[in-house]
A and B are shown apart, each in its own frame.
Chain A
Amino acid sequence: MTDERPLIELERKIAGGDFQSAGDVSSELKRILQQVGFPPPFSRRVVIAAYEAEMNVVIHAWRGIFRAWIFPNRVHIEVDDEGPGIPDLELAFQEGYSTAPPHIREMGFGAGYGLSNMKKCSDRLEIDTRVGEGTKVIMDFFLNPS
């Protein structure tokens, strides 16, 4: 990390179980990225990963904080939640594996593609999780990945 200053910093609370507002933070981020003028394919992959991270908090956690730092050439996102944590990360990364309950799956959530979508869309993904405490997701997106 350099000491460059971000153009915009965004910090929003996410409420666990609040499916009505779910996706609002990612929508706000999308508008900001469009206003900054990032190319649509770049904004798109940031927003997909942000949406999956946001939804994971809504589906699985009690509450969380979404933070984004938007720089001219990159975006850094941290999503920190208080929740059950992920007991087996390797399993959680498997496409189609999910611990979401049936009523959530019926809504089309929790299909087990969240983490793999985040991995595909980001240039760097780090997950720090403690069972019974919570999970922190850190993602970086570079406009020109080297």
Chain B
Amino acid sequence: MQPLEATVLAPGNMEEEIQGGYCGDLLSDCIANAVEGSVWVTVQSHPNVIAVATLVGIPCVVVVNNYEVDEETLARARNEGITVLRTPLSAFEAVSRLAALGVPGKKRRG
């Protein structure tokens, strides 16, 4: 993932097209507001991130600031076909680069 300077930690079903993006670190916030098919930019990297991604229908999680990602998180991501990327970029920088690629911010309801 060149534009994000990211390492692919779990490949997932990379052919799935990203339709939007969401950024946030509170799981209740993401599950309530993120839209299916979005890339999720977050500092969180524990296994429950994959549970939330699965429930929302998020195909790709970008962990920023090179935070360590648990092996259990990656095992779950592989099981669910979810892509996990890790980038040294900050959340702000990662989101601006995704936006420059044409990924629109998406949010549930109004």
Contact = CB atoms under 8 A, between A and B. Distances in A.
Nearest to A120: B32
A115 B26 CA distance: 15
Contacts of A47: 55
B72 interface: yes
B54 interface: yes
B46 interface: yes
A26 B55 contact: yes
A1 B51 CA distance: 32
Given A30-B54, A108-B25, A113 B32 contact: yes
B44 interface: yes
A48 B47 contact: no
B31 A117 contact: yes
Contact of A108 (B27, B47, B72): B27
Task: Bin chain B's interface residue count.
Answer: 10 to 19
Interface in B15-44: 25-29, 31-32, 36, 42, 44
Interface in B31-82: 31-32, 36, 42, 44, 46-49, 51-52, 54-55, 72
A98 B15 CA distance: 40
B28 A26 contact: no
Contacts of A55: 27-28
A52 B48 CA distance: 12
A125 to B, nearest CB: 15
Interface of A: 19-20, 22-24, 26-27, 30, 40, 47-48, 51-52, 55, 107-109, 111, 113-114, 117, 120
Given A20-B72, A23-B55, A48-B31, 6 more contacts: A20-B47, A22-B48, A23-B48, A30-B54, A111-B28, A113-B26
25 contacts: A19-B46, A19-B47, A20-B47, A20-B72, A22-B48, A23-B52, A23-B54, A26-B51, A27-B54, A30-B54, A40-B36, A48-B31, A48-B55, A52-B31, A55-B27, A107-B48, A108-B49, A111-B27, A113-B28, A113-B29, A113-B32, A114-B28, A117-B28, A117-B32, A120-B32
6 closest cross-chain pairs (CB), A and B: A23-B51, A113-B28, A111-B26, A108-B27, A108-B44, A108-B25
